[in-house]
A = this chain, B = another copy of it.
Amino acid sequence: MTSKEEVVQSAASIATSVAPTTSARVRLRPIDARGVVIRDGLLADRQRVNREVTLLRGAEELERAGTLDNLRIAAGRMSGERRGMVFSDSDVYKWLEALAWERGREPSAELERLARETTELVAAAQEPDGYLNSFCQVVDPAWRWTHLEQGHELYCAGHLIQAGIAAERATGDASLLAVAGRFADLIDEVFRNGSVKSTDGHPEIEVALVELFRLTGAQRYLQLADTLTTRRGHGLFANGRFDLDYYQDAEPVRDARSIVGHAVRALYLAAGVTDLYAETGDDALLGSMLRQWDDLTSTKSYLTGGVGSRHHGEAIGDPYELPPDRAYCETCASIANIMWNWRMLLVTGESRFADLLERTLYNGFLSGHSLDGESFFYMNPLQSRNGERRHRWNPVACCPPNIMRLLASLHHYLATVSDTGIQLHQYATSTIRTIGPDSNPLELAVETGYPWSGAIAIEVVSAGEAEWTLSLRVPAWARVATLDGEPVAPGGYAALTRRWQAGDRVVLEIDVSPRLTVPSPRIDAVRGCIALERGPIVYCVEQQDVAGGADLADVAVDPNVGPVESGPIEELGGLPGVALAGVVRELDGWRQSEYLDVRAVPAVGPAAPTRLRAVPYFAWANRGEGGMRVWIPAAD
């Protein structure tokens, strides 16, 4: 028997966003983030920009938008009208979560001051009974628990709980957790034992409640997560503004055959349900998750890992409905997709989840954050005819602080441990310290230029005494890969089981040379097109990189000529460019016509060869506005 106390002790010792209990049904376990440092490379750079620029911009923007003032008004410290969206408190909580993970990475007097002052403000705004929501408190006290469909009341609570947990785990400061716990207890009283037999229109609290259970050992939080999850799917929101799919309320979660509705809602819920499975062992939940994941990845995912095909309802579309231009692909959906895939990886140990996490991280997620860290994308389409301008902030500001909390916790996602060894899932120049299967300290030093280079050198710095297995993910997209010169199969883990010695060194080589990618013939919107990938990075062509000033709309790519490296792109901080053999199609005969009789189709003039320079998709719209395409027509 695992006592409650043991569970608590075990969970609390893992300073990471997801910390399954010792009895959880997981094949892999996260590594305490205090033992992981990303030292160099793309991910380190993104963490640095987040720390030095974006987190501080967040503080400014939360002031400018009135988001912090809303809490001051709720706390009775100032008067005035509440501003912003009904769910804007959650922007503060996500930013506080980011501050916590960032302080855990490296102390900072300024970040500590911001966190301390804001935490104190949040605590001051809390009602004596534990309630905390500035919209309800400032605008309409009668609103409490009465607008669950669109009110985001529990959604905000979920982000508060996650922020409180992060602060406690990363810095040991439990003051925000205390606020969150009081609110969670009130919600438990009202929703599980009390009169409100509903749930929130926007899932989020589920994942937070399971984690609160993990941290505290208090079963009531796990039960509340189960209750709120199980209530979905029975038409609670039948009179809502959107259809039941939107709220994941058309089918009980355990019965769901497909993933539907509002993308962020669906993916946050999936993350919470996966956690709930891990702690309860309820197989119906895992079955649903596997079905939904298959549905997502066989018919409803973008090449970038982005999810959400429709602007209307910010929704996952029908199968194979994947327009590149009107792709919604909200940055928050990519973050939620990363959250879900990390949990599926822990539960199953299967590399396909780490593969999708990687795809989403480097493409659909990073694209939401400008290279200079100053601006953001809410939507991440794969084609833009006229270009898009990144936003300094958004009226709906969910994405910027969500980006911040993920960047501040990127190092949580590199590696896991199991009873038999250590697994590396994402590659970065990093130090990874943990406790090995024999309870001795293990330390690995990873050196790599990944994702730009495919050479990954892993040195065992501390080896312990027992035999253990080093498992290295070989991405399914790799054409070839070798481990210490021996071929290893893409789409799984290359495993080395040894009695390791300090100083042992292995080298994984993954072919990251540029390759062309073809869409399924069932994806109507990109028929006849090809895309370019290089390692895990999806590339795109921007208008300014079409040689000779031809219109990007008139360009095709010769699929028979392989793409070649074209060297670092100075304007993009030296990111590697790739040259594509293009042709400019002479479409003058079509200038006035949209549709023509097949017998009257004008001769397309001789296609003039041109050179296209492709850039990493995540770096688009960093050099002004102009057309962009991931999918480019293949020349006949």
Which A residues are within 8 Å of any B CB, using their own CB?
294, 297-299, 301, 303, 310-312, 318-326, 383, 385-386, 477, 479, 515-531, 553-554, 559, 585, 587, 590-599, 601, 604, 633
B520 touches A594 (CB 8 A): yes
Each complex incorporates copies of this chain amounting to 2
Residues of B within 8 A of A527 (CB): 527-529, 633
- Pick the contact of A597: B297, B386, B479, B597 (CB < 8 A): B479
A599 touches B318 (CB 8 A): no
A477 touches B597 (CB 8 A): yes
Residues of B within 8 A of A312 (CB): 311-312
B525 touches A595 (CB 8 A): no
B594 touches A301 (CB 8 A): yes
Residues of B within 8 A of A324 (CB): 524
- Pick the contact of A525: B294, B301, B524, B531 (CB < 8 A): B524
Which residue of B has the minimal Cβ distance to A297?
Answer: B594
Q: With the chains together, A479 CA to B598 CA distance in Å?
A: 11
Given A515-B598, A516-B598, A597-B477, the answer on whether A553 and B311 have CB atoms closer than 8 Å is no
Having A298-B593, A320-B553, A515-B598, one finds 20 other A-B pairs with CB under 8 Å, namely A299-B594, A311-B312, A312-B312, A321-B385, A322-B594, A323-B325, A324-B524, A383-B524, A515-B597, A517-B597, A517-B598, A518-B595, A518-B596, A518-B598, A519-B594, A520-B590, A520-B593, A527-B527, A527-B633, A530-B598
> Which 7 A-B pairs have CB atoms at the shortest separation, nearest pair first?
A311-B312, A516-B598, A528-B528, A527-B528, A520-B590, A318-B385, A520-B594
19 A-B residue pairs with Cβ-Cβ distance under 8 Å, sorted by A, are A298-B591, A298-B592, A298-B593, A312-B312, A318-B385, A319-B385, A321-B326, A323-B326, A324-B524, A383-B524, A479-B597, A516-B597, A518-B598, A520-B590, A521-B587, A522-B553, A522-B590, A528-B528, A531-B595
Q: Quote the shortest CB–CB distance from A236 to chain B (angstroms).
A: 21
Q: With the chains together, A604 CA to B522 CA distance in Å?
A: 12
Residues of B within 8 A of A321 (CB): 325-326, 385
Q: Quote the shortest CB–CB distance from A490 to chain B (angstroms).
A: 10
Q: Quote the shortest CB–CB distance from A582 to chain B (angstroms).
A: 14
Q: With the chains together, A319 CA to B592 CA distance in Å?
A: 12
Which residue of B has the minimal Cβ distance to A598?
Answer: B516
Q: Quote the shortest CB–CB distance from A518 to chain B (angstroms).
A: 5
B594 touches A523 (CB 8 A): yes
Which residue of B has the minimal Cβ distance to A523?
Answer: B594
Q: Quote the shortest CB–CB distance from A500 to chain B (angstroms).
A: 34
Given A318-B386, A515-B599, A595-B531, the answer on whether A522 and B587 have CB atoms closer than 8 Å is yes
Which residue of B has the minimal Cβ distance to A298?
Answer: B592
Q: Quote the shortest CB–CB distance from A553 to chain B (angstroms).
A: 6
Residues of B within 8 A of A596 (CB): 517-518, 520
